[in-house]
Structure 1
Amino acid sequence: MRNNERLVLLDKDAVESLLKADDVLEAVREAFVLHSQREGRVFQVVRERLSTGGVFGIKSGDVQTQSLLGFKAAGFWPTNRQSGGEPHQATIMLINPATGRPICVIDGNAVTTMRTGAAGGLGLMQLARPDSTRVCVFGSGVQARVQLTFALRLMPSLKRVQYVTVNGEKDEAFESQFRSYCDIRLAEDRNGAVTDSDIVITATPGAGALFDLDAVRPGTHFNCVGADTKGKRELPDGLLERVRLVVDDRIQASEIGETQWAPKTEMIELGDLLTGNAHFDRQPGDITVFDMTGLALQDLTVARMLRDRATEANVGTSIAWPW
C-alpha cells in the first residue's frame, strides 16, 4: 500500500555513529568504478553564488542497474562561523527511481568530508611515488585534516608533514591530531615547503595560487581539493601544462575544478585507472595532479551504505510518508 511508505531520517549524530573509514573507502571506490564502467551517471552540476555570500550547489546522479537515484544539496556559507556553525553544509536525499518518492534524507556534512578524504587517499595510492615520505598541506581545516588522515592511513611511508595556514600562524589543534603519527610542523616558507615535499595537498577555499611555479620539483604529486566552483584555483599558472593530470570527471573538472584553467590538458579519469580501462606508468620525474571536484556517485554510494547500516542497527528516525 502506498500509504504505508516511510521516510528515514539520519541526522548528524546518526551519521557519525555509522560512518567508518573502511566502509567509506569501499563505497567511494565503487563509485569511481561505476563511473568508469558507465553504469553510474553524474548529471550536470548546479553551482551558484548567492546574494547572502554563500555558494549553493546540487550534485545528482543514478545507477540504473542498482535502483540508486538521488542528489546532494550543498554549499559554503562563510557567515556561519560568526554563530559558531560549520560553513560547509550538505544534505543528501535518496529517491525511489520507480516512483520519484524520497526514501532517505541524510545530514551530508560528515559524508562530504569523509568521502572526499577517501577519494584523495585513492588518488594518492594510484599516483604518488610509493617512496614518498614528505607531505605539505595547505590548510588546517576540516578537509585538510581528513585528507591528511587518509594519506597517513594509506601511505605509512609518510613521516614528515609541513602545513601552511591562511594567517601563517601555528595551529596547535591541527598539530596535536597528527603528532603521534608523524613529525609535523608549521612551514616557515610555503614555496620552500612545496620544494621539500613529495606530496602536496591543497585544501583551501581556492582564492588563488598558493605557491610559485618554480617551487615545484620533478616527481611531486598534488592532491587538489579547493577548486570546486568557477573562478576558484589553488595552482599557479603554467603548472597544469607540465603535469600528468588525473580527474574524477572530465567535464566537471573542466568546468569547476582546477582544470578549468587549462581545459585542453590531456587527462585521465581516476575510475579508469581503478578498472584498468586506462594505464598509468609513472616515471620518477613526473609531476602528477589529481583534480578532485567530487562525484555525486560518491555521495550516493556512501549514502546507500549508511541507509543499510542504519536499518541493520535500528538507527535514525523513520516517519510516515504517505502519498
Structure 2
Amino acid sequence: MNETASRERATLRLLDAHQVRTLLTHESALEAVREAFVLHSRREGRVFPVVREALATGGVFGIKSGDVAGQGLLGFKAAGFWPGNRAYGGEPHQATIALIDPATGRPLCIIDGNAVTTLRTGAAGGLALRALARPDPAQLCVFGTGTQARIQVDFALRLCPSLRAVRYVRADGQRHAAFEAHFAGRCDPVLARDVNAAVSESDIVITATPGNMPLFDANALRPGTHVNCVGADTKGKRELPEGILGQVRLFVDDRAQAQQIGETQWAPGTPCTEIGDLLSGNETFRRAPEDITVFDMTGLALQDLTAARILYERAVAEQAGTTLPWPW
C-alpha cells in the first residue's frame, strides 16, 4: 500500500467508559501507574506544564500532557470539574484522553477519561500505601464519599488485607447509604461523628473532597499515620491543616506540580521526595514507628498515557471500541 492509500485508510478508535472498565483492570492500572512513576523518575517520560483555569461557567478546565519518546507515546487529557452537573444528575468531573502519533501528529485514539482517571488515581493511592503506610494498618478514615473516595478505599482494601474498620466523613454529617452498600461484604463503613477522633484512631487517612479548607485539626494526626491527599489539585484548594507539612515526611508525584496546584502549594519550601524515586530505587525510605507520612497526589499526565497505551493496545488486539474513518 502506498503512502497516499495508507493515509486515506487511516482510522480513529473511540473507547467509551464501559469499554475502558472492561479493558483496564485494577491490576493493569497498578502496572500502568507504577510504570509512569518510574518513567518520570528516570526522566524517560516528560510531563509538560499543566493548564488549569477557572471558567466563566463556574467550572475548572485543565490539560495535562506529556510524552515518552522511547515508546512513541504522546498525548493529553483535557479534564476539569463542573459542580453544576450535579443539579441534573451528572458527574462533576469530566475528562477526555487523546493519544497522538508523535511521528505525524495524527490522532490515534480518543478515550473516556473519567474511567481512566478514577482507576489510575486509585492505583496511585494504592501504590503509596504499599510504599509508605505501616505494614499492618487496621483502621482507615476517608473524607468524602464520591467516586474518588470510593476507588481510594477500594484499592486500600485490596492492598491492605489487615484493614478491618473504615470510617467516612461527609460535609453534611449524614449517612450515605450508597457508599455503605458499595463496600458491603468487604468492610463495614461507619459514619464518623467526631472527625478528629476518627483521624486520631486511624492508621490511614484519605482526603478526597473538592473543598478548600482544612478537614481536621493538626493535633489529630498521631505518629505512624499515613495520609493520601487527593482533593487538592488546583490553586487555592487544600484539605490539610495549616503547618502540618512541616511535621511529616512528605512525598509527591511531581515536585513542581505539587508546589503549584497540590497540597504543597501551602508550604512550597517543604522538603519532599517524588514517589517515583522510591519505586525506581533512586531513593529509599524506611518507616520509623513515629513517622507521619503524606502523599500529595496531583496526578501525572504520564499516568494517563501509560494507562491509555495499555487500553489502545488491548482494544486493537481484541477489536474493541468504535473505529471511524479518519483520513489525513
Is TM (by shorter chain) over 0.5?
A: yes
The match for 1:7 is 12
Aligned mates of 1:77, 1:187 — CA distance in 2: 28
1:120 paired with 2:125, answer yes
The match for 1:154 is 159
Contact 2:138 2:162 in 1 (8 A): yes
1:39 paired with 2:44, answer yes
Aligned mates of 2:239, 2:174 — CA distance in 1: 20
User: Which of 74, 88, 91 pairs up with 1:86?
Assistant: 91
The match for 2:307 is 302
Q: Secondary structure at the match of 1:104?
A: strand
User: Which of 60, 65, 70 pairs up with 1:65?
Assistant: 70
Shift of 1:13: 2.2
Shift of 1:23: 0.8
Q: Secondary structure at the match of 1:223?
A: strand
The match for 2:262 is 257
Q: Secondary structure at the match of 1:210?
A: coil
User: Which of 153, 157, 172 pairs up with 1:167?
Assistant: 172
1:102 paired with 2:116, answer no
User: Which of 10, 23, 26 pairs up with 1:21?
Assistant: 26
The match for 1:220 is 225
Further displaced range: 269-278 or 182-191:
182-191
User: Which of 274, 277, 291 pairs up with 2:279?
Assistant: 274
Aligned mates of 1:229, 1:207 — CA distance in 2: 10
Shift of 1:2: 1.7
Normalising by the residue count of structure 1, what TM-score does the alignment of the two structures yield? Answer: 0.99
Aligned mates of 2:22, 2:138 — CA distance in 1: 32
The match for 2:3 is none
Structure 1 counterpart of 2:284, which letter? H
User: Which of 190, 206, 210 pairs up with 2:211?
Assistant: 206
Q: Secondary structure at the match of 2:199?
A: helix
Q: Secondary structure at the match of 1:274?
A: helix
Q: Secondary structure at the match of 2:151?
A: helix
Structure 1 counterpart of 2:202, which letter? S
Deviation string for 1:48-102 (max 9, x for gaps)?
A: 0101000000000000010000000000001111121111000000000011111
Further displaced range: 100-109 or 173-182:
173-182
Deviation string for 1:78-134 (max 9, x for gaps)?
A: 111112111100000000001111111101101001100000000000000012110
Structure 2 counterpart of 1:164, which letter? V
Q: Secondary structure at the match of 2:124?
A: helix
Q: Secondary structure at the match of 1:114?
A: helix
Structure 1 counterpart of 2:181, which letter? S
Aligned mates of 2:216, 2:184 — CA distance in 1: 25
User: Which of 230, 244, 249 pairs up with 1:239?
Assistant: 244
Deviation string for 1:135-155 (max 9, x for gaps)?
A: 000001100000000000001
Structure 2 counterpart of 1:19, which letter? L
User: Which of 144, 149, 159 pairs up with 2:149?
Assistant: 144
Aligned mates of 2:197, 2:181 — CA distance in 1: 23
What percentage of aligned pairs have identical amino acids? 68
Deviation string for 1:237-281 (max 9, x for gaps)?
A: 010000000000000001000000001001000110001101112
User: Which of 290, 294, 309 pairs up with 1:289?
Assistant: 294
Shift of 1:179: 3.0
Q: Secondary structure at the match of 2:30?
A: helix
Shift of 1:215: 1.0
Aligned mates of 2:109, 2:181 — CA distance in 1: 37
State the Cα RMSD in Å.
0.8
Aligned mates of 1:63, 1:312 — CA distance in 2: 22
Deviation string for 1:195-244 (max 9, x for gaps)?
A: 11011000000321000111111111100000000000000001000000
Aligned mates of 1:3, 1:183 — CA distance in 2: 56
Runs of 4 or more off by more than 4 Å in structure 1? none
Shift of 1:315: 1.0
User: Which of 193, 200, 222 pairs up with 1:195?
Assistant: 200
Q: Secondary structure at the match of 2:189?
A: strand
Contact 2:180 2:188 in 1 (8 A): no
Structure 2: gaps spanning 5 or more residues? 1-5
The match for 1:51 is 56
Q: Secondary structure at the match of 2:172?
A: coil
Structure 2 counterpart of 1:45, which letter? V
